Structure 1
Amino acid sequence: MSDINKVLIVGGGIGGLCAAIALRRQGVAVDLVEIKTEWTVYGVGIIQQSNVVREMAKLGVLDRYLDAAYAFEDVGIYDVQGNPLARIPGQRLAGPEYPANVGISRLALHQVLSDTAVELGTQVRLGLSVAAYVDDSHGLEVTFTDNTQQRYDLMIGADGVYSKIRGMLFADTYTPRFTGQAVWRYNFARHPSIDHLATFTGAAGNAGLVPLADNLMYLFSTSHEPDNPWYATEQLAVTMRERLANMGGLVGELREQIIDDSQVVYKPMEVVFVDEPWFKGRVLLIGDAAHATTPHLGQGAGMAIEDALVLGEELFGDGSLPERLQRFMTRRFERCKYISENSILAGEREMARDPAFDRIGLTKAMLKLTAEPI
């Protein structure tokens, strides 16, 4: 009989929900607490690249949202005027019946994951977090912020870049760092030419267009924001247009349609990487709590999803709990570190306006690495 029978997951985002699904499919009792009182999601859309499509299929959730997503095969790289530079074919890693890549709205993805987790029996409580815990080596006695207590065999911190659980494990050793960049996002009706992920790059700027549905796509753009400014809502549309001033082609045409301040999603880029084992005793970090990075390689959420799947596999193998968690680390650490460091590198080269930076080469290297089995 397994020694992991009841698990607490702190954080109801992509990583936490995927961990809940993976563990419930193993028959583990799962409680999930989320600090938000309303289970809302932040952002516009998300790219599920080929490795993520493979892992989501293994989790048994991909079929549920293909109808609400946009399947595509290739990645196109263009200069800032929209002239083609490279076309990188996708790989159907999940099998011939599945697409290479998927674009989906974050709301649709959250709905699929949260519905699946609850249907599988995850017990969800909102407006709640962990106040304290005691690890007595035989289990965890967890006290919540409403002063209730429960006992668990394992606690998973999936509570994001500002993880409270990370602070409990490592104090202030690891704190988020602003990179100097921010990302802007805005939804549009899908243009017929955007049937793939299209990225536009050069010393003059960077942007991308991601298909989300037959009638929907989103534009993203990165910008250098050295002082990490705060923008009032009424400044967002005009500032996003200014950040795209050097972009031509389709992005230049779309720029003038950015007029609704309330639809602009602006997010400063903050990163953190726990450069030692992500667990102590019976407490483990996954996703952004352990390795938050920038969106330049489109793999931030993907790494959290992979964390969840690998944890579901390793947690019920042979050996002691520390041995199993160390096997999880062996499979995850270098892969996540590569994504983290190279995503940050891409942003640094953008800010330096480095014309020699080989984004095409980096993209191909990333796709090759992530196509490999975990």
Structure 2
Amino acid sequence: MAQRVSRVLIVGGGIGGLSLASALRDRGLAVDLVELQKEWTVYGVGIIQQCNVVRAMADLGLVDRYLDAGFPFEAVGMYAPDGRLLAKIPGQRLAGPQYPANLGISRLALHTVLSGAALEKGTAVRLGTTVERLDQDDAGVDVTFSDGTTGRYDVVVGADGLYSRVRGLLFGPGEDGEYRPRFTGQSVWRHNFPRPPEIDHLAAFTGPDGNAGLCPLSHDLMYLFVTSEEPGNPRMPADQLHTLMRDRMKGFGGLIGALRDRITDPAQVVYKPMEVLMMPAPWYRGRVVLLGDAVHATTPHLGQGAGMAIEDAVVLAELLPQDAPLGDLLARYMERRYERCRFIVDSSIMVGEWEMARRHDVDRIGLVKKMLEVTAQPV
């Protein structure tokens, strides 16, 4: 008979790790979570949660508190640079008819929901700590932590992001550094604004050199994002971020253009180079498994990065407590996640390449519809 998983270590207290912790506690597993940050702060402004993510949050049992913390909306609008509406793509209410199709939520609000649930359910959280060493045998994993303490677990989950320590311990850099993140050539700029009534949906604008969008986050707040090509991944001076962001918006009219001159404080601009990684299968070795950005970091072009991490957590939480050999369970995790995540990563990268090549003969609306069709399928 297979040894049931009863004690799990999660490395990383971001969206994927916290989602998994909450779901495993619901199933009665003991969960320790370590997070490298000493202060559990959140980077960024807002996040788009599409139909499949709302469904995943329902699967996690968190959808009601989650919806209360954000702004529900039904459709995605695709616009020309001057603000003309090109198409409005309705979402699907995948979580059930009583729930909205999509949600915009601030990253701080999402972190508050997920961390609050994980702690309330009894997750043992340690901040300022990560793993130093992993030693596996057939029955478990001996972990040495960065503070010198040790522990033994049935399973270790690396949910520690793009520059995952766990991935490095398991797989190293790969051949020619293939397991290291790659800069795509683009970056994204974000800024919060008061929300006007007409931004009651995700509004995506295709520009001459990049794209922009507006996403509602609450009754009175929205965020603006703009993508730009940044050859060589230059370091941007922190005191000039407002000027640089305005410069990247000069090809837009309409509401995007009107917002440009309201960007006056560099401290309110969040700038991030786009880095990607798609790890080949399998994403596990023995009793250690990876999820989220540690294995499939994508660009924001399709708004699915965090969603894929949450879906990973849903699937792992369903599989790990089952009475079956762990290798079989992790193989099923790969079967359910690999192609779906690869589609999102590849498609998102392709949109960025279209932008950098100034391709205006492509069917971006069609790709968004295809993405919604793929992600509407069960996880």
Counterpart residue number, 1:151: 152
Structure 2 residues not aligned, in runs of 5+: none
Q: What is the CA-CA distance between 1:282 and the residue it aligns to?
A: 0.4
Residue aligning to 1:235:
240
Check the 8 A contact 2:4/2:323 in 1, yes or no.
no
8 A contact 2:6–2:321 mirrored in 1: no
SS at match of 2:371: helix
Matched, 1:201 2:202: no
Q: Specify the SS of the correspondent of 1:218.
A: strand
Superposed CA offset, 1:309-342 (max 9, x none): 0001112334310001000110000000000000
Runs of 5+ unmatched residues, structure 1: none
Name the residue aligned to 1:62: 63
2:189 alignment counterpart: 184
Counterparts of 2:236 and 2:227, CA distance in 1: 15
TM-score (norm 2): 0.97
How large is the RMSD of aligned CA atoms in angstroms? 0.9
Other-structure match for 2:137: 136
Q: Deviations over 1:270-315 (max 9, x none)?
A: 0111112000000000000010010100000000000000001112
1:373 aligned onto 2:368 = no
Rounded to whole Å, the distance in 2 between the matches of 1:319 and 1:125 is 30
Partner AA of 1:175 in structure 2: R
Matches within 5 A, 1:204-215: 204-215=209-220
Aligned-pair CA distance for 1:204: 3.9
Kindly state the Cα deviation for residue 149 of structure 1 after the two structures are TM-superposed: 0.5
Structure-2 residue corresponding to 1:283: 288
Q: Distance in 2 between matches of 1:325 and 1:336?
A: 16
Does residue 1:88 correspond to 2:93, yes or no? no
Question: Which amino acid counterpart does residue 311 of structure 2 have in structure 1?
Answer: E
Shift of 1:357: 1.8
CA displacement at 1:66 relative to structure 2: 1.8
Query: Is contact 1:205–1:247 with CA below 8 Å preserved after alignment?
Result: no
Aligned to 2:270: 265
Q: Deviations over 1:52-107 (max 9, x none)?
A: 00010110111013222101000000011101110001110000111000000000
Q: Check whether the contact 1:157–1:285 (CA below 8 A) recurs between aligned residues.
A: yes
Kept in 2, the 8 Å contact 1:2–1:316? The answer is: no
Name the CA distance, whole Å, in 2 between partners of 1:68 and 1:15. Answer: 18
Q: Which amino acid aligns with 1:222?
A: T
Letter in 1 for 2:78: I
Shift in Å, 1:26:
0.9
* Corresponding residue for residue 256 of structure 2: 251
- Deviation at residue 203 of structure 1 after TM alignment: 3.1
- Partner amino acid, structure 2, of 1:322: G
Letter in structure 1 aligned against 2:192: N
**What is the count of residue pairs matched by the alignment?**
374
Quote the residue 1:330 is aligned against.
Answer: 335
**For the residues of structure 2 that align with 1:100 and 1:140, how far apart are their CA atoms?**
40
What is the rounded CA distance, in whole Å, between the counterparts of 1:269 and 1:102 in structure 2? 23
Distance across 2 between alignment mates of 1:240 and 1:118: 38
1:248 Cα shift?
Answer: 0.3
Counterpart residue type for residue 117 of structure 1 = A
Q: Measure the CA separation in 2 of the matches of 1:104 and 1:323.
A: 36
Aligned-residue offset at 1:200 = 0.2
After TM superposition, give the deviation of residue 22 of structure 1 in Å.
1.2
Q: Is the Cα–Cα contact under 8 Å of residues 189 and 272 in structure 2 kept in the other structure?
A: yes
C-alpha contact (below 8 Å) 1:203/1:354 kept by paired residues: no
1:101 aligns with 2:106: no
SS at match of 1:252: helix
**Does structure 2 retain, via aligned residues, the 8 Å contact 1:228–1:268?**
yes
Structure 2 Cα separation of the partners of residues 346 and 244 of structure 1? 18
Q: Shift of the alpha carbon at 1:245? A: 0.4
1:65 and 1:149 map into 2 onto residues whose CA distance is 35
Any idea what SS the aligned residue of 1:231 has?
A: coil
Contact 2:192 2:268 in 1 (8 A): yes
Q: Which residue of 2 aligns with 1:8?
A: 9
Deviation at 1:202, TM superposition (A): 3.6
- 1:359 equivalent to 2:364? Answer yes
- Alpha-carbon distance, 1:3 to partner: 1.7
Residue 232 and residue 297 in structure 1: after superposition, are their counterparts in 2 closer, same or farther (change >3 A)?
same
Alignment pair present for 1:315 and 2:316: no
Q: Does 1:52 align with 2:57?
A: no
Q: More deviation in 202-211 or 305-314?
A: 202-211
Indicate if the aligned counterparts of 2:298 and 2:348 stay in contact, CA closer than 8 A: yes
Counterpart contact for 2:136–2:142, Cα < 8 Å: yes
Q: Are 2:35 and 2:129, in contact at CA under 8 Å, matched by a contact in 1?
A: yes
Q: Give the letter for the 2:147 counterpart.
A: D
1:50 maps to amino acid: C
| C-alpha separation in 1, matches of 2:106 and 2:67 | 11
Residues 76 and 87, structure 1, Cα contact 8 Å, conserved in 2: yes
Are the equivalent residues in 2 in contact too, given 1:166–1:289 (CA < 8 A)? yes
2:347 equivalent in structure 1: 342
Contact in 2 for aligned 1:204/1:247 (Cα 8 Å):
no
**Does the 8 Å CA contact 2:210/2:229 hold for their aligned counterparts?**
no
CA distance in 2, matches of 1:362, 1:110: 30
Which moved further from structure 2: 67-76 or 195-204?
A: 195-204
Residue 23 of structure 2 corresponds to residue 22 of structure 1: yes
List structure 1 runs of 4+ shifted beyond 2 angstroms.
202-205, 316-319
